[in-house]
Amino acid sequence: MTEADWQAGGFGLYLHWPFCAAKCPYCDFNSHVAASIDHNRWRRAYLSELRRGAALTPGRVLRSVFFGGGTPSLMAPETVAAVIDEIRRLWPVANDLEITLEANPTSVEAGRFRAYHDAGVNRISMGIQSLDDSALRRLGRLHTAADARLAFDVARGTFP
């Protein structure tokens, strides 16, 4: 692929939310447990970085957005909405734009998921890891198999 091909083609955005309710012992990602998070400050930082990125990629078609982490389902829905609105303002987007948000079963709330959906999220990546309670304990996960099933049902009902 040539530089010209890359410039003309579509691209995807990855937005990292580095906060979690607990640090899983197997996780090598940049993630941290924080007693409090300044969501307004993070929102401003995301919007600033998006504008910088848009200046470097004029005219490129955005094909996917991935909110990863950490546990992005701990983000304020207003932050997710502001980021998606800004993305749509800054770039042309594909008709089938995929917007994914990672979630853990312990952070799934129906109202929060509806707000993510209303903001434009159309795919959830759920970190269930196992449906065996003893395996979940060994992995240091905060949820049970029953919690995971309930979270899956909420996600499936919100993101059919």
- Rounded CA gap, 149 and 107, in Å? 13
State whether residue 63 is helix, strand or coil.
Answer: strand
pLDDT value of position 3:
58
**Domains of the chain, earliest start first:** 9-158 (3.20.20.70)
pLDDT tens readout for residues 105-160: 888 889 999 999 999 999 999 988 889 999 998 888 888 999 999 999 999 999 88
Poorest-pLDDT segment among 26-30, 43-47, 89-93, 120-124: 26-30
Q: What are phi and psi of 63, to 5 degrees?
A: -110, -25
Residue 1 pLDDT > 70, yes or no? no
CB-based contacts of 25, cutoff 8 Å, min separation 6: 139, 140
Of the ranges 6-10, 23-27, 53-57, 87-91, the best mean pLDDT one:
87-91
